[in-house]
Amino acid sequence: MESHRVAGISRAEWQHVAVYGPVPLTELLAHTSGMINSVSALVGASTTNLPAARMPWTDHALRQQPNNARGTYYYSNTAFGMAGAMIERAWSSTYETLMQQRLFTPLGLVGVGWGPTTAAGANDQPQGHRLQGSTWVVCEGCDNPPGLSSAGTVHMPLRAWARIMQELLLADQGRSTLLTQTTARFLVCGCAVAGRCGGSNGWMR
């Protein structure tokens, strides 16, 4: 991140969040940046202009004191969201559009969507469940807030997911047209803090 302007924060305002320093993308992805984990600012935000919904959220997050010291593992959806906002600024497009252009379309994925797999009350697609007491209850039409796309609101058929796995295996062999071997191994195997890899770089272990 630029030290003088991040997610709309001016140089004068930066003094309030200077404790973060120039946090690199890798620390956000590995959950070692110290970033808080709060998505409340996204609840009720715009569902049609997602970048506009994300910017106030990232501004708010950067003005909070870190949750923990940098280098210490702490899972944060906010960190993933911040990474998505950085990508949008770097490529001047929305995270969702970039995913379509740079991953879904080149791999020929079909049936990919954002948000709930199906509407509340419908049963044409699998739906998530949440544990209430000792009972698993269907979570109809629910997902993370729409602006949290880079923390995981995408859904796809198993065939599409298998195609992504195939590309990662090809990359590991140095045969991918999308990923280098180094990048693929970083995404799947990278773990900044030994023994604390849950969600690091987007993969649950």
CATH number at residue 104: 3.40.710.10
Count CB atoms within 10 A of the CB of residue 9: 18
**Phi, psi (degrees; rounded to nearest 5) at 184:** -60, -45
| The pLDDT value given to residue 198 | 57
pLDDT of residue 14: 46
Q: What is the tally of structural domains in the chain? A: 1
The DSSP call for residue 17 is T
The per-residue pLDDT for 64 is 84
Is residue 78 in some structural domain? yes
Distance of alpha carbon 3 from alpha carbon 131, whole angstroms: 42
pTM of the model: 0.80
Per-residue pLDDT tens digits of the chain, which is 205 residues long? 433 344 444 544 444 455 666 788 888 888 888 999 988 777 766 677 888 888 878 878 888 888 988 888 899 989 988 888 888 889 999 999 999 999 999 999 999 999 888 888 888 888 888 899 999 998 888 888 888 888 888 999 999 999 999 999 999 999 999 999 998 888 887 665 555 565 567 665 4
Assigned domain for 122 exists: no
End-to-end CA distance of the chain: 28
Q: Dihedral sign, CA of 177, 25, 113, 162?
A: positive
Residue 178, by phi and psi: left (phi above 0), alpha (psi -120 to 50) or beta? alpha
E strand or H helix at 137:
strand 135-138
Question: What angle in degrees, to the nearest 10, is found between the helix axes of 50-62 and 77-91?
Answer: 120
Residue range(s) defining the domain that contains residue 101: 11-115+141-202
Q: Is residue 120 part of a domain?
A: no
Q: Is residue 121 part of a domain?
A: no
pLDDT of the residue at 52: 81
